[in-house]
Structure 1
Amino acid sequence: MDQLYNVTDAFTMVHPVTLTKGVNAKVWDDKDRCYVDFVGGIGVLNFGHCHPRIVSAIITQAQSLIHYAYNAAAHTPYQAFMPRLCELIPIQGELAGMLTNCGAEATENAIKIARMKTGRTGVIAFDGGFHGRTLAAVNLNGKVAPYKRGLGPLAGGVYHIPFPSPDSDISDQQAIDALERLFAVETDVDNIGAFIM
């Protein structure tokens, strides 16, 4: 692949193709080769590319209000959507939420909210997990390469334990043992405000 100019090399390119269009679960590159899109915008394109109802909703919204930060001024799409979203979450009791522009921002706000609500700063994350590329989110990621290499010291209060999974040969008991060791050796359970997975 030719050198890309004006694009940072702070991240690696996973697939050496340049995409030009997409329809449903297919994408095409600049040489008109077709691929099945198993990436899906890293999991955010649940209905694929260019679904007609989604395109229509985008056009309709863009004709009335393109973007406005809710913390600057309330707007009706946000007020209509949040109750509908909360109804889908299978938790009893009162719920509240906020929309963010990406997963890393959602992660960082979740950590801030957990710390404010619990008064505790510690967060337990799992080996192999990915939570984003911003500085607080990257500290939660469960591997050094490629996300943490060369960043130097990161903010404290993040603890990693193995995630129980047959794929990583970690049993439930091994994960429980790691959690118990964490509370015996590294931090008090009363310091933990959240688990993230």
Structure 2
Amino acid sequence: MSLKTLFADAQVHHAIFHELLDQWSAQGWLVTYSTPLRIRMTDEARARSAPPATLRRVENRRLNSMRARMWSAMRVLRAFDLPTLCFAAEVSQGNARTFLRDLVRVGYATEIGSGMRAGWKLAKDTGPTHPIIRTIPNRAVKGLLLVELRDRNTGTQTSVRVRATRSSRKTAGAPSRRASDGGVG
């Protein structure tokens, strides 16, 4: 298994992932060697049927992620507006908008209403664990994105090609327009 695959399956922040690698190395399950960093599982680790135990605080961080809180709130609320979701999940409006945009793109949420009455409803409630969504720029066709969804409740994986919107394009090196950064906007 590659580190990229292991990181994708772990669904944790990269700092937490490195903490897990350190723990497993300290427990003798992984051997690190060479530069750039390479990791190999020990023979004893390969013989195990389950991964080695991790620190409880690492597991709790993953269970209490922003997306996990938003997904839980959406499952309870069923239909909601942005302020209600942000209040229930204790997340910023920017994080909620991004997650909702991705859920709408893959058909897991639908927009209801418009303008001041804009809201969303959960279209697919597949279980307690939030889906993993990755947005990948399509280098072959400018202006298109590939949105990949992996539903950990059903084990399904789907990909959707969508046109990039102005808010979904990340421009490297572009100046910030947030007032907190001294920008004008």
> Do they superpose with TM above 0.5?
no
Which is bigger in relative contact order (C-alpha 8 A, separation at least 6)?
1
Larger-Rg structure? 1
**TMscore range, shorter length:** under 0.3
- Bigger strand share: 2
